[in-house]
Structure 1
Amino acid sequence: MEDHGSTYLGLFVDETTFYNRIVLGSLLPSRVWEPLPHFLQTWLRNYLGGTLIYFLSGFLWCFYIYYWKRNVYVPEDAIPSKKAMLLQIFVTMKAMPWYTALPSLSEYMVENGWTKCFSRISDIGMLAYLVYLATYLVIVEFGIYWMHRELHDIKPLYKYLHATHHVYNKQNTLSPFAGLAFHPLDGILQAVPHVAALFLVPTHFTTHIVLLFLEAIWTANIHDCIHSNLWPVMGAGYHTIHHTTYRHNYGHYTICMDWIFGTLRDPLDDGSKKVM
């Protein structure tokens, strides 16, 4: 590969190459991945990294709430069956190669200078970084809310894409493994706001990658049916209501967008829709 180190865009290529070597070098023999083009190395790194995060977060959380703290957080009759969780894993793993194509594409666009990404926080200063990060998160919250809501409101999108995820509509069918159990295109569409934000606001490249992969951990958490009651976080209590009513709590990290657009339903205030 051409040496890009003397250019600013080369910093992004150097960074992704470094990440590729850390992940792929730790998991695969060099003869398997080093001959691959840079883009395919990046996709393979994202695929293996995303898969590891999915299984580690899912298994550890399931072990904690279903076995170590059995009957503390989830009643015995509400623990999902092994069959249900294996099906969720199967659906997720079919989609994982496609999910991880999106961050690979976003990294390619960053490396080629198509976005507003910057490589080093020191280039702009900490205060500007925090302002840009807050703006990025608002864009993601707004974008995911409306993408998720339209996947319900536009009937063909729901029927052919989002319904795959909503077969899990009761507490004893929801588990941390359901977090990424989507039709591949559905999962990609809901992550698109992360990529769109790169074109709208200056974004720290590493922060973007971290936030994308944190999605795997976050989605595991909001499908465990445990209401944390930590305002304004859109925790599992809110999201379980979404899986039972289909018309509320479309939001992502916070309840703000549902509150603004009138679709919020609080699990503590709504006794008629109690899920715990």
Structure 2
Amino acid sequence: MDLVLEAADRHLLTPYVYPAGWPEGEPCRQLLSLFVITNLGALALYLLFGTLSYYFIFDHELKKHPQFLENQVSREIAYAVRSLPWISVPTVALFFAEVRGYSKLYDNIEDSPYGWSGVFLSMLSFLFFTDMGIYWIHRGLHHKLFYKRFHKPHHLWKIATPFASHAFHPVDGFMQSLPYHIYPFLFPLHKVTYLGLYIFVNVWTISIHDGDYRVPRLLRHVINGSAHHTDHHLYFDYNYGQYFTLWDKIGGSYKSPTSFEGKGPHDYLRKLREKDAAAPNGIGASKKDPGASNGIRASKKDPGASNGIRASKKDPGASNGIGASKKDPGASNSIRASKKDPGASNGIRASKKDPGASNGIGASKKDPGASNGIGASKTD
């Protein structure tokens, strides 16, 4: 980070911001400068790459998923913007230690005993080291002592967008970034390489929340991509890793992504569309119950019911929930000749006023020629 601080001092802070008498190497000035640079840099990376990913990579069809929250995108951004300044406080302390020379960062390739090969090896070791560290920290944050307080806010986003990438509780966000900052205090690392890796890990964090599940087939069970991390958000106890699936496999928490098996969020939405298109009268399965026939599902209280209709508890023998009443158990479909008129057919009798009517329906007084009480109109 001292490369960024030096550039900021040379081109902006010394000539235009700070008083001429305030030395560049003064600790308070360095802390203040690092705080501003870290916050502006993190916010710029988040909004720039998050916006690009959201508009050019993220599948907006996922916003139709039942588990996509109302106003989710704005809520993700607001949460991240509130958290980033707090995350930066301990981060700046570590950057300050780097600037003061306590890390193993070096300026020139010649300073490495391994030359360029050492640079490439350090990049690989950085990825594997941080992947291991994040796995165990992330898994620890799922422990009941920490989850509800620190990590649960990030799991609010079941169907995440790229803007969920930095929407962490501040403690959660800093803890999962800690391996990045510890590495240069333990192992030699070129300063430019470190800066490039810092940008890379931020972009990668955005990418595993972008809903693009494409991974080369040979690497599907090696790279921990968006498909793996989506299942982590949905199913909670799987796929804690950051870049690779190695530690999930070692730790017994690996889960093959449902998206690779035709059961992911996109497949869920496709089945909803198919059911809506196939349903008669334009009535489709509801989002909450895609397995329902015509959008009608057996109730939870009575899952054995046909089309959600069950014989009532009071009359379990009824057909389609319609049974003979207790007062008239012999009735067919609960229709019986009434006590007042036992001769009626199906409980329907010619009325007293019109005993000649068929099935209780007679010619009206105004139109005695009408059949079944229905007569030709005056105009016809």
Tell me the amino acid that sits aligned with residue 25 of structure 1. Answer: L
Give the C-alpha shift of residue 260 in structure 1. 2.3
CA deviations 1:97-134 (Å, max 9, x no partner) are 12333443232112223222222223111112222332
Per-residue deviation, residues 29-67 of structure 1 (Å, max 9, x unmatched)? 93379867122112211111111111111112111146x
**Residue 25 (1) aligns with residue 15 (2):** no
Matches within 5 A, 1:45-64: 45-64=37-56
Partners of 1:269 and 1:57 lie apart in 2 by 24
Q: CA RMSD in A?
A: 2.9
Q: Which residue of 2 aligns with 1:111?
A: 99
Alignment of 1:79-118 (within 5 A): 83-118=71-106
Tell me which residue corresponds to 1:215. 201
1:172-202 CA-partner distances (Å, limit 9, x unpaired): xx11000000000100000001122122211
Amino acid at match of 1:233: I
Q: Is the 8 A contact 2:227 2:259 kept in 1?
A: no
Q: CA deviation at 1:19?
A: 3.5
Q: Is the 8 A contact 1:50 1:213 kept in 2?
A: no
Query: Which residue of the partner structure matches residue 360 of structure 2?
Result: none
User: Per the alignment, in what secondary structure is the counterpart of residue 150 of structure 1?
Assistant: helix
| CA offsets 1:238-262 (integer angstroms, 9 cap, x no match) | 0000001111110001222112222
Structure 2 residue identity aligned to 1:252: Q
- 2:145 maps to 156
CA distance in 2, matches of 1:177, 1:220: 7
Q: Which of the pair is proportionally richer in helix?
A: 1
2:153 and 2:211 map into 1 onto residues whose CA distance is 19
Aligned counterpart, 2:249: 259
User: Number of residues paired by the alignment?
Assistant: 253
Whether contact under 8 Å (2:57, 2:212) holds in the other structure is no
Question: For 1:31-50, what aligned pairs fall within 5 Å after superposition?
Answer: 31=17, 37-50=29-42
Higher relative contact order (CA 8 A, sep 6+): 1
For structure 1, the 5+ residue unaligned runs are 1-11
Q: Is the 8 A contact 2:208 2:225 kept in 1?
A: yes
Contact 2:119–2:193, Cα closer than 8 Å, also in 1? no
Work out whether 1:205 is the aligned partner of 2:195: no
With structure 1 as the length reference, what TM-score do the two structures score? Answer: 0.81
Q: Look up the SS of the partner of 2:155 in the other structure.
A: coil
Q: Is the 8 A contact 1:103 1:212 kept in 2?
A: no
Deviation at 1:138, TM superposition (A): 1.6
Bigger Rg, structure 1 or 2: 2
CA contact (8 A) 1:241 1:273 kept: no
- Equivalent position amino acid for 2:149 in 1: Y
Q: CA deviation at 1:270?
A: 6.8
Alignment of 1:126-205 (within 5 A): 126-152=116-142, 154-169=143-158, 171=159, 174-205=160-191
Partner SS state of residue 156, structure 1: coil
CA spacing shift, 1:76–1:136, aligned 2, 3 Å = closer
Aligned AA (1:60)? L
Q: 1:236 is matched with which residue: 220, 226, 231? A: 226
Conservation of the 8 A alpha-carbon contact between 2:79 and 2:168: yes
Runs of 5+ unmatched residues, structure 2? 23-27, 267-380
- Alignment TM-score, normalising by the size of structure 2: 0.60
2:64 counterpart residue number: 77
Q: Which residue of 2 aligns with 1:250?
A: 240
For 2:246, the aligned partner's letter is: C
Q: Distance in 2 between matches of 1:110 and 1:65?
A: 36
Distance in 1 between residues matched to 2:215 and 2:152, nearest whole Å: 28
CA distance 1:76–1:89, shift in 2 (3 Å): closer
1:197 and 1:164, CA in 2 relative to 1: closer, same or farther beyond 3 A? same
Q: Name the structure 2 match of 1:274.
A: 264
Partner of 1:9: none
In structure 1, how many angstroms separate the alpha carbons of the residues matched to 2:7 and 2:224? Answer: 31
